[in-house]
Structure 1
């Protein structure tokens, strides 16, 4: 794409100098689709379909189901005319709320259908348990009847998924590549691990909403973001030279998603990694390639990264490297790469600490969460520091000295730990310097 009205950019940040015998090239690849490009794509906007899954299990009774009804109504109002949509209720089984006939096609958004859908949502009642696989399978079957190019869902729950892990994973496997899904936990009974699995495998986001009254704004923002997508089936295409190996490809902003195992080979040296639907936005990717070492002074193209929409190359960036025996060059720190490495380490340490705490290994939990406090302090990550302070008492942040809070010392400590677990996966956009 060319011209200011159609700007798509791929920027590559990496140390182009490898030490003698060096083989690993790490780069942060920043991909930006500008407002002009999104508007241009919107001129031929991909058709869209939306499904909202609402937890109607017994634990939702009271404030949570009232907030869910209200939030769903706000989201329905945000769906633009012409978009296909449906509402699904879920407990230990799933059922169509609107359109109410399970064999009916998705509704088409209009003033009339939005009002009908909101009326159906107001009639939701609660009972039963929680089985995500049934919700996902019904959503998949409803999407299968649609020819829409952009298929997006929202899943809301307040409880723990009680089905077998394999049953849940099998449902996720059936849904991968078929639609994207944002997941939200409301209140205090949900578990982050399930929402993280949905978000990571279905190209979505996961978050916790402690106060049900905040749910409506969150649903509005999710639906606005979905309505802002204009291009489906976008992928990162990675070319590497003969003899090289792609170590990994990970999205690191706005959420951490490992794309490595989602590669589809285009040829022996070219692979594509699906990155979902796009609108006007920026995403960062960490790309790591292992190359065959060359003599000092030799320069090669280690990789070529393209953003592609089907067969259309929207933008491209190159990773060139040269071998040097000058230590000053080969040890240069690239701020963008260092920042991504630090975020990934912090996220992993928080996850390990919370997992140890849940397992009852308090010594390991204290050590890992103390390390997380130190990393958050060193990087100036105030948000993560505040989240960690809900789980540990910070005695000395620079050294990572903490005391693990007892569960009885803080009424919200369990849900705060889960929210921290979700929030630890969120990252900040890389610095431009």
Structure 2
């Protein structure tokens, strides 16, 4: 598929095509790759808003505010002529740092100089109401509907100055209007006052970009520059994954699984009776993202072969790309229908890890520490089985690992949930599948809680149904591991 500006988005699909005769779930990994686009980027077609946290906590210590100002100045300096931009002061409200009125300025030598002077005056005060910052960004970017809108959100705290429902309503009002990159300022000792799940909810809805913690304030300016550099290469803002099903199939879910995990299912928009479009955000040349599409397919006689659906990428004003078919064959042979495609297994492993970390944080937040420890043990075993040493190092911030292979861990004394936030936001970040094998190559010397590539899952029961996939199609629970069943809910 080629967009009007020359950007090409190509889709390939990977799945195991055999299903049991009584029906089941077909898991498809849709890999979308952006090819090189000819010509120069039209900077007058881009709009950028910097949302700068100026709440009181940014002054404790003052080094945070100094680093944030320096990073914003570096971003302003990097804006090419022609880009529409603004800098917003985020506190318990949202106000303009530059320009003074609620509008976008056009970057040139003069406007950059005035913006720099205004940014240098920013000082910490007040509370934190991120929803109001986002709504101002929406209004500013709405003045340039012809431009590809993007925001950089920098914060060091949680949304304490408005209700969670207000933030959710604001995020929903911004979804599809622009994309966001979140940068969370922390401290070198790993204690962070921001809320990981809160920032993930914003990021997932507004472009599904990774949330990046910044513990080294000296690197904040370089981080801003990297975000802006990528944002300035955007060529299209409205790419969509279209899932069209046959009469035999229904969509169970659609998730982005690389570079970060994000559930796109709630944001699907019907295109016709059998087609649903899922937003893929803005794209630049050389971008690559992978999606897990699960289709629930009806029963049919063994040996029958049918088409369950089609996948394609759509962009407004572009010539439609070819539809990639999803063919399935029904069989009574367990050796065939229990196979898990290696690409699907690669991402199922990582989804399982992220879910265990999420469950651990949720349990710890309500005092269920034994349950939290259990989930962290499962997460450690998954990281070990997948060869993800970086994830093990992250979890070592909050647990002492006795035996990684079997998930034997103990929570570090004095649980402080502020130390968990780093793991919370990086857990959904994934490694990509590379044709011919995952990268990095997994270390499978220890037992794995989830099926490795080319393994088979024996039939197992959950939610009163028998499954042959590594997760329950009803509730999303994964196939039980050698570590043991999840504990029953309870308070320690």
CA-CA distance at 1:21 after TM superposition? 2.0
Give 1:377 shift. Answer: 0.8
3-state SS in 2 of match to 1:128: coil
Deviations 1:241-286 (A, max 9, x none): 0142100111111111111111111111111111111112110000
Whether contact under 8 Å (1:184, 1:206) holds in the other structure is yes
2:275 to 267, 270, 280: 270
Q: Which residue is equivalent to 1:211?
A: 216
Over 3 Å counting, the alpha-carbon distance change for 1:159 and 1:112 in structure 2 is same
Q: Which residue is 2:181 aligned to? A: 182
1:42-57 → structure 2 map (5 Å cutoff): 47-57=45-55
Match of 1:310 in 2: 316
Please state how far the C-alpha of 1:43 moved relative to its aligned partner. 6.4
Root-mean-square deviation (CA, aligned residues, Å) is 1.9
Structure 1: runs of 5+ lacking an equivalent? none
The counterpart of 1:135, out of the listed 124, 130, 133, is 133
Name the counterpart of 1:230: 235
Matched with 1:363 is 370
Name the structure 2 match of 1:83: 83
Q: 1:45 to 1:33 in 2, by over 3 A?
A: farther
Query: Mapping of 1:48-197 within 5 angstroms?
Result: 48-61=46-59, 62-102=62-102, 105-162=103-160, 163-187=162-186, 188-197=192-201
The CA distance in 2 between the partners of 1:90 and 1:345, in whole Å, is 35
In structure 2, the residue matched to 1:260 is 265
How far apart in 2 are the matches of 1:23 and 1:349? 25
- Equivalent residue of 1:313, what SS? coil
Q: Which position in structure 2 is the counterpart of 1:18? A: 19
Pick which of 292-301 and 396-405 moved more: 292-301
Question: In structure 2, what is the equivalent of residue 381 of structure 1?
Answer: 388
User: What secondary structure, in the 3-state scheme, does the structure 2 residue paired with 1:427 have?
Assistant: coil
Q: Secondary structure of the residue that 1:266 maps to in structure 2?
A: strand
* Preserved contact between residue 9 and residue 315 of structure 1 (Cα < 8 Å): no
> Match for 1:353 among 343, 357, 360?
360
Superposed displacement of residue 322, structure 1 = 1.3
TM-superposed CA distance for 1:228, in Å, is: 1.5
Residues of 1 paired with 2:291 and 2:250: CA distance? 17
Matches within 5 A, 1:260-299: 260-280=265-285, 281-299=287-305
2:406 is aligned with 1:399:
yes
Counterpart-to-counterpart distance in 2, 1:92 and 1:44: 35
What's the CA shift string for 1:67-110, capped at 9, x where partnerless?
A: 001111122223222110000001111110111123xx311112
Deviations 1:277-322 (A, max 9, x none): 1112110000011122222222111111111112532454221111
Deviates more, 1:43-52 or 1:91-100: 43-52
Equivalent of 2:427 in 407, 424, 428: 424
What are the Cα deviations for residues 195-243 of structure 1, in whole angstroms up to 9, with x where unaligned?
1111011113312111211211111111111111111211011111014
| TM-score scaled by length of structure 2 | 0.82
For 2:216 and 2:165, the matched residues in 1 are separated by 31
Deviations 1:113-159 (A, max 9, x none): 22221221111111111111221222122122223331111111112
Aligned partner of residue 300 in structure 1, secondary structure: strand
Q: How far does the alpha carbon of each residue in 1:312-364 deviate from its partner, in whole angstroms, 9 at most, with x for none?
A: 32454221111223333323331110111111111010111122223221111
Q: Is the 8 A contact 1:392 1:403 kept in 2?
A: yes
Structure 1 58/6 Cα, relative in aligned 2: closer, same or farther at 3 Å?
Answer: closer
- 2:440 alignment partner in structure 1: none
1:66 to partner: Cα distance: 0.5
Q: Give the structure 1 partner of residue 458 of structure 2.
A: none
Residues in 2 aligned to 1:56 and 1:76: alpha-carbon distance in whole angstroms? 17
Decide whether the 8 Å contact of 2:31 with 2:289 is kept in 1.
yes
Q: Which residue of 1 aligns with 2:487?
A: none
- Structure 2, unaligned stretches of length 5 or more? 187-191, 437-492
Greater fraction helix: 1
C-alpha contact 1:54 1:155 (8 A) present in aligned 2: yes
Structure 1: distance between partners of 2:330 and 2:336: 10
Tell me whether 1:199 sits opposite 2:203 in the alignment: yes
Name the CA shift for 1:401/1:151 in 2 (closer, same or farther; >3 Å). same
Q: TM-score, normalised by structure 1?
A: 0.93
